[in-house]
Amino acid sequence: MAENIVMPQLGESVTEGTISKWLVNIGDKIKKYEPVCEVITDKVNAEVPSTFSGTISEIVVQESETVPVGALICRIAVEEQASTPVESKTPAAAQDQGADDVTAQAAMSPRYSPAVLKLAQENNLDLSRMEGSGAAGRITRKDILEILQGKRQAVAAPVPKAEPPSPSKPSQPVESAREIPKPSGSVEALSAVHFPSNQADETIPVTAIRRTIAERMVKSKQEIPHAWLMVECDVTNLVRYRDRIKEEFKQKEGIHLTYLPFFIKSVVEALKEFPILNSQWANDHMIVKKAVHLSIAVATDQALFVPVIKNADQKSIFGLAKAIDELVKKARDGKLALEDITGGTFTVNNTGSFGSVLSAPIINPPQVAILSVEAIVKRPIVINNMIAVRDMMNICLSLDHRVLDGLVCGRFLKRVKQKIEGYGMETGLY
């Protein structure tokens, strides 16, 4: 008997999921609790385990397809059916055989998803002349994009020989102008292919994660009256200190010592002095959070994640460096769990890692503030009426003006600046 595997609900408010990768193929034997696929939701990436032991009989949802929670994604033929004699067919078995026949007939006739059909029509591609990488040779959106990007050729099936032209009916050229082959240095290969004069624009579907980011950022800008403050910090002593100890730290602890743990340590200590910045807006009241769960922005090629360092105010610089390293690796490997991305009370965004010197970050609700640390650059600074070259950095604060005013935020930034500029050779890491 075939059992169904459905899209699970990975989080309280999750309504749909996207199959990012199948870990099994049709015909594979699988044990109970072994993962069958990887799923991306607007909350987290996770593996979907099998609830049965048996053989994968059908994969219903292809990679990159999004379906609602509870939708059928694959079928598994349970192991008990393997011992059923073929001769003693019950009506149910006959019904299963009929279903198998229907499945076989469906496999013989090509099926294309709406996204594949749309891309093919927009780019004048002949789907009948392509070979898919999906289950049972099904053409996926990824196949179309690889053809459009020139990573593979469109032709998969051999082209039948053309009949000699008859006098009454001139021969027609083979319609291969719509195929985009791989680049080739051969003049003969290039001359045999006609490139379309107008290349179509690439269409990128909105993933669940990207859609959630968009919705949250629009909501933040629409509902929160943003205001901004910026101060500059002289981090010369910190730069010298880190340069002196970073190699020893890497050999001893096995992780890189970046500037971010120092900045976060300064922020969480300042938050204990100005707890109103560690609060939430709740319409008719404000909630000041006692625990400091600090969110950090981690960008990947696909999306922006905001994992949370729990109880960040109780960690040393080393503890923060270790927590950052673990969360960044999880984010980039797609292994963040739901508890890793929930509960944040304040966010620090390291925009300086890609050279930014000034930014106005968008607040991540229900938080009421976000701080960005910018790039460290050498600048001439006047000290005691003399010009000196110092390592300088800007820190920028976005604040929710419903909760916070310039006075308290100015004092908060001033305290963060003092703590950052106070690092030096006497600073303890543990």
Q: Which helix (H) or strand (E) holds 66?
A: strand 66-68
Task: Report d(CA 84, CA 56) in Å as an integer.
Answer: 17
- Determine contact, residues 262/423, Cβ cutoff 8 Å: yes
- Determine contact, residues 78/3, Cβ cutoff 8 Å: yes
- Determine contact, residues 65/18, Cβ cutoff 8 Å: yes
Phi, psi of 18 (to 5 degrees): -115, 130
- Determine contact, residues 293/345, Cβ cutoff 8 Å: yes
Separation in Å, CA 27 to CA 13, 122, 124, 159, 409: 34, 35, 35, 31, 61
Task: Report d(CA 92, CA 81) in Å as an integer.
Answer: 12
Is 194 an annotated catalytic residue? no
Phi, psi of 276 (to 5 degrees): -65, -25
Strands (E), 83-225: none
The structure tokens listed for 353 are: 């890692």
Task: Report d(CA 346, CA 306) in Å as an integer.
Answer: 11
- Of the listed 100, 101, 333, 405, which one is catalytic? 405
- Determine contact, residues 334/351, Cβ cutoff 8 Å: no
Residues 6+ apart with CB under 8 A from 270: 412, 415, 416, 419
The structure tokens listed for 378 are: 């050498």
Residue type, 121: Q
Q: In degrees, to the nearest 5, what angle opens at C-alpha 145 toward C-alphas 329 and 197?
A: 140
Is 405 an annotated catalytic residue? yes
- Determine contact, residues 314/245, Cβ cutoff 8 Å: no
The structure tokens listed for 117 are: 């059909």
Of 178, 391, 410, 217, the residue nearest 297 (C-alpha): 217
**Crossing angle between the packed helical segments 317-333 and 260-273, to the nearest 10 degrees:** 120
| Active-site residue set | 401, 405
